[in-house]
Chain A
Amino acid sequence: MKYRYILFLVIIGLLYSCKPELDEFSPSQGSADFSTYVALGNSLTAGYADGALYLSGQENSYPNILAKQFQKAGGGSFSLPLMPNEDGIGISITPQGMALTTKLILGFKTDCLDKTSLAPIQLVENPDQLELFGQLTAPVAGPVNNFGVYGAKSVHLLAPGYGDPAGLVTPIPTANPYYVRFASSAISTILGDAISTLPTFFTLWIGNNDVLGYALSGGIGDTITTPFWFGAYMKTIIETLNATGAKGAVANIPSVTSIPFFNTIPYNALELKVQAQVDALNGAYAPYNQLMELNGLPYRINFNLGYNPMVIFDNGMPLPPEYAQYKFRQITTNEIILLSTPQDSIKCAGWGSQVPIGDQYILTESEILEINNAINGYNETIKGLATQYNLALVDANSALITLQGGIVSDGITLTSTYITGNAFSLDGVHLTPIGNAYIANLFVAAINSKYSAKLPTVSLTNYQSVILP
């Protein structure tokens, strides 16, 4: 009798010790070799976010996320040129000139109407410029694997002296403080420094700034790199990398209109609620409409109750020189008002209604066309070179277009909506850690497919987005 009971209990005990198990996922490198990985690119690669480069932003950069996945498949250590703190340093270009800033955080801001709401604010107001400059240009010791440099265009990867501290103070600066930090010498190039690490694998995502400088300034500052020159620079970069025997992945350039900086303020943000206001505005613009009619031009400014297209300056209007002061019109549905437009000026100074919004805050249809043509040209080049050199191609452009419709992963919704969309940081251009994880997964998928590797994807749940107070 007792035997049976004991046997019974023993069986139960044995069975209880066995928890369910799944086949292990065993990562592998396939035909790639991740032992020395370098990342080349611009601010997106560097981990710039919230308008600044700061410590945790760098740690959450997509190359660093990717490197951790590589390490599961034979990858080696991955060093970042880390900033000294979480405050960060950014460059802000304002009508008053260039200034160094700390990162943006979400805080409470009182507007000109005395209404307080959540808005991006500087972590430190009016920081000491010399102190930030000193911090930014202090040399970084130790090896570097992430060669992403804020502001870099394709040509800058090849530019000797781009990391020369002397080039920061020339009348027209020829150096970039974000590269000065970790450049190996005064004459080194970003590409040369990357190659000196003897990489076995590289990622390359460059070209965004070749149009972004133009786009962020409303088409009045900076110029677009022509697709011809972009192609020439890219060919040199990829050929040089390929000559080392390293394998790699190259990402294409997303359309600027897929990022919040360009799609947050609607063209018709001007809301009129009172008929008297509508009448007053229409009366004020009556002479303008007459003038346009006399000159046989199609421009008319007209307001109605509800949402109205903003009034903007447009230097491209074909008006005779004597009417140059009339180069303004209502914006069309296909045109863009930039996130940099001062909100208080719209709310309290009549911008967009009584006062046309300045050209530096607007992308007109022709400017958008120029930008899109350039990006299309770049992306053809990138695709061609990826095929020619047998590299994994990351279609960041399609991925960010997909984001406009929204994607969901592990219960997190990702969209290109400013602040609440989880993907973009407070500057409206650069990614949040969640956004970087999304990009890292694009690289993982492309690399797995190209090199028959088996890299694990990352879960977006391990990363943060904009932090609300």
Chain B
Amino acid sequence: MRKIALLTVFLVFASSFLFAGGYQVRLQGQKQTGIGLIGTPFAFGASSIFYNPGSLSFMKENYSFSAGVSGIFSNAIYGAKGSDYIAETSNPTGTPFYFYGAGKIIDDLTVGVGVFTPFGSSTKWDDMWNGRYLVQEISLSAIFIQPTVSYKINEKFGLGAGLDIVMGNVDLSKAIASPVNGQFNMQGKSTALGFNVGAYIKPTDKLNIGIDYRSKVNMKVTGGEAKFTEIPSSLTTYFPSSANFDAELPLPANLDFGLSYQVSEKFLLAAELNIIFWSAYDSLIIDFEVNNEKLVDSRSPREYRNSFIPRLGAEYKFNDKLIARAGVYYDATPTNEDYFSPETISLNQFAFTLGLSYMPIKGLSIDLSYLQLEGLEADKTYTPDNFGGTYKSRAFIPGIGLSYNF
């Protein structure tokens, strides 16, 4: 039963991230974002807390601080099969952010803390749209706080690890179909733990290799609040205005391999492969604490599959004050063909990124990034509700950040 509840939370999470497959958002450093969201083979400073704790101890100065925010402008469109019906989302702008601070305790040992938002999603359809019995609006957010320690074993090898304290929120609204007719809303909070470990290897001066593993985090909601409104008075005893539920949503584990190569003094190439263990998201279960004849627990299959994201990026250093970056990646959807829910419009996506770092004074860097995601048009169905059609999505994500090292 508890598991059912967890799934509900997942559901919420699932809907929010249009731009990274499922509901993951890797916008945790503007430099990394600019270079195709590649992070593991770099030692950019404090932002390694998220991308690869193993490279944190390779930061050049004694202290490093980094903060930034992105704006996610995403839209999805749905066209019913065999019909002229079209619906578009009016998603609120998502604002993932990050803040990192790190300092060297001794030469080879660095500690730091990061606050960042690698998962989240918000999808808003019109209240009266044809998929309203599946979802009207959903928002998922998770804030990670990660104290981290990183140790440079030698000039070629570093290891790091962090503990993630994760606070999640979920809010889902949908309509209830005839013969009941009404509105359903559920809200829940959850706190959970996870970890992040990484290794950083520099076999030569020009080649960097990074490996990072971020664990699955099980977001369990216990005693969340479900509200049934606009219910016919003859049914309010079955669908109370307030009920408690449990649910669970997994934030999947990630395994990342990256490498970068300094082709020339000004030019760097990088590649990365992410394996995202989405199969953890099997179904979304809402477990009402008190059931009755009509109010029963719900289990909605999701059956996500593990996904792989290959990334390529490049960096060009104009001079000591200006660096430009670009990248591309392909993110195959983890969703199941038969269980594609409009709460998380996760299509196969092609993305390109641009980035610019400007360093007006020594140690200070102003980082700009731009990410565009094209969700490729596809026919999808959620078979339990027989809700299907053609989906397409697009997201524009500009970001700005500051980092200061001294």
Give me the interface of A with B, judged by CB distance under 8 Å: 1, 4-5, 8, 11-12, 15-16, 18-22, 24-25, 27, 72, 108, 118, 407-413, 419-420, 422, 434, 456-459, 461-462, 464-469
**Contact (Cβ within 8 A) B235 A468:** yes
Residue B159, interface by CB 8 Å: no
Q: Cβ of B370: which chain A residues have Cβ within 8 Å of it?
A: 8, 11-12
User: Chain A: which residue is nearest B133 at the CB level?
Assistant: A411
Give B344 Cβ to nearest chain A Cβ, in Å: 16
Answer whether residue B273 sits at the interface, using C-beta atoms and an 8 A cutoff. no
A465 to B79, CA, bound (A): 25
Structural contact, A22 and B133, CB atoms closer than 8 A: no
CB pair A12–B235 under 8 Å, yes or no, is no
A72–B84 contact, CB under 8 A? yes
Chain B residues, Cβ within 8 Å of A419:
179
B345 to chain A, nearest CB (A): 10
CB of B390 within 8 Å of the partner chain: yes
* Closest-CB distance, A73 to chain B (whole angstroms): 10
Is B178 in contact with A25, judged by CB distance below 8 angstroms? no
Cβ distance B6 to chain A, nearest Cβ, rounded Å: 23
Smallest CB–CB gap between A91 and chain B, Å? 27
**B375 contact set on A, CB distance < 8 A:** 20
Interface residues of B in 357-406 (CB under 8 A from A): 358, 368, 370, 372, 375, 377, 384-387, 390, 392-394, 396, 398
Chain B residue nearest to A455 (CB atoms) is: B82
* B177: chain A residues within 8 A (beta carbon): 411-413, 461
Contact (Cβ within 8 A) A410 B83:
no
Instruction: Tell me, rounded to whole Å, the shortest Cβ–Cβ distance linking B173 to chain A.
Output: 14
| B80–A459 CB distance below 8 A | yes
What are 27 inter-chain pairs, A to B, with CB distance below 8 A? A5-B368, A12-B396, A18-B394, A20-B77, A22-B377, A25-B84, A108-B234, A409-B386, A410-B133, A411-B385, A411-B386, A412-B178, A413-B177, A419-B179, A422-B179, A434-B178, A459-B80, A459-B130, A461-B177, A464-B178, A465-B179, A467-B181, A468-B180, A468-B181, A468-B235, A469-B233, A469-B234
Asked if A118 and B234 sit within 8 Å, CB to CB, the answer is yes
Closest B residue by C-beta to A16: B396
Query: Is there contact, CB below 8 Å, between A468 and B179?
Result: yes
Query: Taking CB as reference atom, which chain A residue is nearest B398?
Result: A12
Give complex CA distance A462, B80 in Å. Answer: 13
**B134 contacts the other chain (CB 8 A):** yes
Question: Chain A's nearest CB lies how many Å from the CB of B80?
Answer: 7
Question: Of A15, A21, A458, which one neighbours B392 at CB under 8 angstroms?
Answer: A21
Taking a contact as CB atoms under 8 Å apart, the answer to whether A456 and B83 are in contact is: yes
Q: Is the CB of B84 within 8 A of A22?
A: no
**What residues of B have a CB within 8 angstroms of the CB of A422 in the complex?**
178-179
Cross-chain contact B131 with A466 (CB below 8 angstroms): no
Which of B148-194 touch A at CB < 8 Å?
177-181
Task: Report the minimal beta-carbon distance from A289 to chain B, rounded to whole angstroms.
Answer: 40
